[in-house]
Amino acid sequence: MCGIAGIVGEPLNGIDAHVERMSGAIAHRGPDDAGVKVWPARENVQAAFAFRRLAIIDTSAAGHQPMSTPDGRFTIVFNGEIYNYRTLRDGLHADGIETRTETDTEVLLLLFRQRGAACLDFLQGMYAFAVRDNETGKVFIARDRLGIKPLYYYQQGGRLLFSSELRSLLASGQIPRVLDPVSLSSYLSFGAVQEPRTMIRNVRTLPPAHYMEVDAYGQIVNSARYWSLPSDKFKGNRREALEETHARLGEAVRSHLVADVPLGAFLSGGIDSSAVVALMARYSTARVHAVSVTFQEAEFSESAYARHVAEKWAITHTEVVLSEHELLDSLPAAVADIDQPTIDGINTWIVSRATREAGLTVALSGLGGDELFGGYPSFRRVPRSLKYAALLKAMGAKNRERAALLVEKVIGDSLRSQKVAAIIANGESALSSYAAVRGLFSMKSRKALLGEGGRGAVGAEVENYLLPAEALELLQAVKTNGDVINKVSQYELSLYMANMLLRDTDAMSMAHALEVRVPFLDHRLVEWVYALPGVLKMGRRPKPLLTEALGDALPTEVVHRRKMGFTLPFEKWLHTALKPFVQEVLNNTVAVERAGLNPSAVLEVLGKFMSGSHATSWSRVWSLVILVDWCTRHAVELDSSVTSF
């Protein structure tokens, strides 16, 4: 796990200083080594690569990057892990290609030299990398299938910049610090910006499962998707499904155990993290070390369940109890490490710090279990709302709007009535129902919150299911097998997980130089589970396919417990220890306006929450706090003169 950055295109005065600043902004990602390669300007083109290393596989100096082929033709910077690199290396040897190191970086570089873009079909892992052809000056950039590792880029005129973090691009000094109005509205819709847009105007992400080719002049000449969720359906019976799921779960976890440094796991006590720990204990040759963060507030504490798992598998278990005052002490550092505004992430920052302090460099996480195996309320709510889709269509748009207003009047202004009203107004399809279920602020609220410069970005969002057009295009490019449960799974994987959970996990864990691995997102496991009919994944118990496939690996207390999710007690803490911080940020009228928000609407949201109103939530308040703080911290503001979105 590392950090990468680069500049490609027309000559840039002082390019070495620019790329060094980009590298410095991601120094936390790689404390073990650093490298920069600058190619001199030639024929009006120039390039530079930068690298920060967190040594995981072959920790010797042989893993230094940028790394070049023996003949000097190709140079790579690579962030991530290739779990099947040994098998791929054996294949290279069989083809007469020699290797000089024990690194997966070299295997990836040589495989690219041998196969070009087709090398991506052979990779099992998480990755974002760039390879330069030093003869032509062309650069090939790729990102893993599920978007576990990030890749941001900025292309304007004759130059392209890329990096592992948005902050690194800003540090280059080459990018205007201007908010994207569409992304601002997208953030208020879901609590995170939807890819490929970012919070900065004209900065994009390379989408998951995509690669792009950049010519020597900094122009993107080709971009393509190289993998997609399967559209085929499983034809076997339940027993066969359980047996194969069991086998693939085991193989996914086993493949993620390769490392030359101390490796452990996050353990919340929920089904997903407990499953990962159980399978680690079954397949690891070393004693498993798991880390849990718990709270003094009993209603948020999962410590009893985590202990059941630790005792069952006789693992080393480090438990950290976090108080609201300890969080308050840590908050400035945690908030400063947010790469893009998000309502999540602080919890990951806390557990990552505890894990690093426990002496671990790598941690396996249960992320992806809910998305694959139907663990969220959306898996029940979306199919339920679709039962009324035909009726809603028949009503027509005007009547739906009237019915939505009537619901809010009858039930009263509450989070529940707002969700029901949103489904009535827009719930004609699985995606629109999902957007209503998952939405943060309603369209009405967003129009009130956005200042004059941002309101124009809201207009077409009903047609786009609250998504920016590019995000909708990415989603609809995937051909599904028609199963509504699997459609919801696709939305959870592509929208919530990729745009919030994975993005935050990367930024907040790498802030502590901790590599987090997600075996549930092994693409072979994802392909298998996604092809199974939704009826196998739903039942009276949570995630029956997963728990039955694991057999007796989980304590019964964990299997039958109520789902909590690893969240901090923000509902309480925003009323107590965090209240001064929240009020200081949101009462700063100048900062709020620079963030593109209407101060009076912001204070109305805050006032409702502090008064105990059921019409808002802690996540809405926190989303505004993080947005305003992030814009202030990075000197980013909305350009009200922008009228094209």
Strand ranges across the sheet with 67-68:
67-68, 74-82, 125-133, 139-143, 210-214, 220-225
pLDDT of 427 strictly over 80: no
| The pLDDT of residue 600 | 96
Mean pLDDT of 493-520: 97
Q: In this predicted structure, which of 212-226, 380-394, 496-510, 621-635 has the lowest mean pLDDT?
A: 380-394
Element housing 275 (H / E)? helix 271-283
Residue 369: both structure tokens together: 């279990």
The token pair that represents 158 in the structure block: 């004759």
**pLDDT for the residue numbered 119:** 98
Angstrom distance (rounded) from CA 382 to CA 544: 19
- The reported pLDDT for the residue numbered 300 is 65
Of 555 and 284, the one with more pLDDT: 284
Paired strand residues for 76: 67, 131
- Residue 568: name the closest of 559, 580, 557, 577 by CA: 577
Percent of the chain with pLDDT over 90: 71
Given this model, what pLDDT does residue 399 score?
73
Average pLDDT over residues 247-252: 97
The number of residues in the chain equals 645
d(CA 108, CA 123) in angstroms, rounded, equals 8
Domains along the chain?
2-225 (3.60.20.10), 238-370+488-531+554-566 (3.40.50.620), 378-482 (no CATH), 571-633 (no CATH)
**Greater confidence, 299 or 498?**
498
Kindly tell me if the per-residue pLDDT of 463 is higher than 70. no
For residues 408-422, average pLDDT: 70
480: pLDDT strictly greater than 60: yes
Which amino acid, residue 15?
A: I
Q: What is the pLDDT of residues 20-65, one digit of tens each?
A: 999 999 999 999 999 999 999 988 899 999 999 999 998 999 999 9
| d(C-alpha 79, C-alpha 125), whole Å | 11
Instruction: Specify the pLDDT at position 245.
Output: 97
What pLDDT score does 456 carry? 58
Could you identify the residue written with the tokens 């709302």? 385
pLDDT confidence tier of residue 173, bands split at 50, 70 and 90: very high
Q: Is the pLDDT of residue 459 over 60?
A: no
Average pLDDT over residues 406-424: 70
Q: Which string of DSSP letters, residue by residue, matches 254-266?
A: HHTT--SS-EEEE
The number of CA neighbours under 13 Å toward the Cβ of 462 is 14
Token duo for residue 631:
């814009």
pLDDT at 462 over 50: no
Evaluate if residue 595 carries a pLDDT over 50.
yes
Decide if 501 contacts 208 (C-beta within 8 A).
Answer: no
Residue 288, CB-side half-sphere exposure with 13 Å CA sphere: 29
Q: In which band, very low, low, confident or very high, does the pLDDT at 419 lie, cut at 50, 70 and 90?
A: confident
pLDDT at 567: 62
- Does 478 score more than 90 pLDDT? no
Q: What's the chain's average pLDDT?
A: 91
Question: What radius of gyration, in Å, describes the C-alpha atoms of the chain?
Answer: 24
pLDDT digits (tens, 9 = 90+) for 82-125: 999 999 999 999 999 999 999 999 999 999 999 999 999 999 99
Does residue 196 have a cis peptide bond before it, meaning omega lies within 30 degrees of 0?
yes
Helix 303-313 to helix 271-283 angle, to the nearest 10 degrees?
20
